[in-house]
């Protein structure tokens, strides 16, 4: 979630309101907690070092770790590796796309700008480049990504592999801006791919889950550097949904974050900066923790949900907007201060309002103990075989739970709602679908991808248990 889920200066007032609400009817034993381990595996000094993802819900103890610093080294590692090989970037995937107890290949040393073409506004980068590094690199050559997720920790190779995205009806996923790439296959071959060269492999590699090998380079289609202004407001969820089509068309980027057990949401509208735009207020990096303290004080009391909603409405309902303006690569991302687990599905764009309404109603009706905001975004269709947006404009809806709480009951109630609306799961986030269900969601190109995968990795050396389940191997 964004750290700006609460307006500036609201934390103290909100906590005072929570204390007052608790006095209405505090009962013992109302808290429902299900602590999750903060590290799924332990470490014994002198033993192999475990890998653990950012969310703390995936882990492995690889027998071999490699950190190649060149394409030649990548090819050599792949040729010599034993057992299952998995690449790892920023370790931000919530799903089990990375774990292997055999060979783990980090791409961190494959970082930086390779070359650029000013006339075409393209730049070739090493695939291990992190987004926070990429922004300034592109700015130095007067280029910028057309769109960018709201965090900049990701490696570009990992983001492309999972079809990472941002929001904006006129913008596709990050994979859709890849004009060419170089793939190191499990056999150690380096293959250049683009729409004009090795096109089938290009269509597979732009969203591959790392199942084809390791992408070493990416040629990105960018645009001239630009500035943005983002405005965050507290509004009513139903009013936003009633006006959603107009808002997504009016703004370059638009998303909103509905607050469970409340009529309120945070709207985030981002447009090209105008002369005179300036920052107003500042983000609250502890907003998610403040919401949690208020919710745990109020929401599970008798009629606590109604009290929680009243407190939020009274304290933040009329809050002033927060405004951030600056270079695009500084405005898009937000700091992540709170660890969480996440499920995200993309439903057809027209199904978005009905889907999110049903999720919010289910949370309320079943009194599910959750207060982290949902996230609701739009993404343009593309033609990439395993992209969540293949063949249709998408509405991506995310649900979150704090990292120390058990997410399974909450996600278990929500996931069937996504299925009802023909949702496709985000490859890097938690879901329960297997090859049989996924093949139906990607009917046009599922077999095309399988054939491309088998052609470059006939022995399945890039497939861990999770990917074998996804692809039915």
The yes-or-no verdict on residue 15 having pLDDT over 70 is no
Taking a C-beta distance cutoff of 8 angstroms, is the pair 417, 171 a contact?
no
Distances in whole angstroms, Cα of residue 208 to Cα of each of 76, 195, 327, 450: 21, 16, 31, 10
Sorted by where each begins, the domain ranges of the chain are 3-27+227-425, 51-106, 113-225
pLDDT in tens, 87-116: 999 999 999 999 999 999 999 999 999 999
Mean pLDDT, to the nearest integer, of 64-91?
Answer: 97
**Residue 26 — very low, low, confident or very high, per pLDDT cuts 50/70/90?**
very low
Tokens representing 403 are: 């990292």
Percent residues over pLDDT 70 in the chain? 91
Q: Is the pLDDT of residue 11 over 60?
A: no
Question: Is the pLDDT score of 32 beyond 70?
Answer: no
Question: What percentage of the chain has pLDDT greater than the value 90?
Answer: 80
- pLDDT band at residue 30, thresholds of 50, 70 and 90? very low
- The reply to whether domains 3-27+227-425 and 113-225 share a CATH topology is no
Specify the CATH number for 3-27+227-425; select among 3.60.20.10, 2.40.30.10, 3.30.70.2520, 3.40.50.620: 3.30.70.2520
The architecture (CATH level 2) of 113-225 comes to 2-Layer Sandwich (3.30)
Global pTM reads 0.93
Average pLDDT across the chain, whole number: 91
> What tokens appear for 423 in the block?
């949702």
Give per-residue pLDDT as tens, 126-172: 999 999 999 999 999 999 999 999 999 999 999 999 999 999 999 99
Q: How far apart are the first and last CA of the chain?
A: 35
| Residue 157 phi, psi (nearest 5) | -60, -45
Chain-centre distance for alpha carbon 311: 30
Encoded tokens for 170: 């006129």
pLDDT of residue 302: 73
- Listed in sequence order, the residues at least 6 apart from 393 whose beta carbon sits closer than 8 Å to its beta carbon are 169, 348, 349, 378, 379, 380, 381
pLDDT of residue 287: 81
- Under 8 Å between Cβ of 144 and 222: yes
Q: Could you tell me which residue, 293 or 381, shows the higher pLDDT?
A: 381
CA dist 351 and 337 (Å) reads: 32
């Amino acid at each position: 979630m964004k750290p700006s889920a609460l307006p500036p200066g609201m934390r103290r007032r909100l906590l005072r309101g929570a204390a007052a609400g608790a006095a209405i009817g505090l009962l013992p034993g109302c808290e429902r907690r299900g602590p999750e381990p903060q590290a799924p595996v332990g470490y014994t000094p002198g033993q192999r070092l475990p890998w653990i993802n950012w969310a703390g819900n995936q882990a492995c103890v690889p027998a071999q770790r490699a950190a190649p610093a060149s394409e030649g080294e990548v090819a050599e590692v792949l040729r010599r590796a034993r057992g299952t090989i998995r690449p790892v970037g920023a370790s931000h995937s919530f799903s089990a796309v990375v774990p292997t107890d055999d060979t783990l290949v980090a791409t961190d040393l494959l970082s930086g700008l390779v070359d650029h073409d000013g006339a075409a506004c393209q730049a070739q980068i090493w695939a291990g480049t992190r987004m926070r590094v990429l922004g300034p690199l592109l700015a130095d050559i007067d280029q910028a990504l057309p769109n960018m997720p709201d965090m900049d920790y990701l490696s570009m190779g990992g983001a492309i592999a999972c079809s990472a995205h941002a929001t904006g009806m006129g913008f596709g996923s990050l994979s859709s801006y890849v004009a060419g790439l170089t793939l190191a296959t499990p056999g150690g071959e380096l293959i250049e791919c683009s729409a004009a060269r090795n096109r089938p492999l290009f269509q597979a590699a732009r969203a591959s889950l790392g199942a084809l090998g390791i992408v070493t380079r990416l040629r990105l289609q960018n645009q001239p550097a630009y500035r943005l202004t983002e405005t965050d407001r507290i509004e009513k969820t139903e009013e936003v949904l009633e006006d959603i089509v107009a808002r997504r068309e009016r703004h370059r980027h638009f998303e909103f974050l509905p607050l469970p057990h409340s009529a309120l949401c945070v709207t985030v509208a981002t447009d090209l900066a105008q002369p005179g735009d300036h920052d107003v207020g500042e983000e609250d990096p502890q907003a998610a923790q403040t919401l949690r303290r208020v919710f745990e004080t109020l929401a599970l009391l008798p009629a606590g949900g109604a009290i929680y909603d009243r407190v939020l409405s009274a304290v933040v309902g009329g809050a002033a907007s927060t405004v951030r303006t600056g270079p695009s690569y500084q405005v898009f991302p937000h700091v992540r201060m709170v660890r969480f687990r996440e499920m995200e599905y993309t439903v057809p764009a027209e199904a978005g309002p009905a889907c999110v309404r049903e999720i919010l109603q289910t949370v309320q009706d079943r009194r599910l103990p959750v207060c982290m905001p949902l996230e609701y975004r739009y993404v343009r269709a593309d033609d990439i075989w395993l992209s969540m947006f293949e063949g249709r404009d998408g509405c991506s809806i995310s649900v979150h739970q704090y990292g120390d709480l058990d997410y399974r009951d909450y996600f278990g109630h929500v996931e069937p709602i996504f299925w009802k609306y023909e949702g496709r799961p985000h490859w890097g986030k938690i879901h329960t679908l297997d090859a049989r269900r996924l093949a139906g969601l990607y009917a046009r190109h599922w077999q095309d991808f399988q054939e491309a995968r088998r052609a470059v990795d006939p022995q399945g050396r890039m497939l861990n248990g999770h990917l074998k389940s996804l692809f039915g191997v």
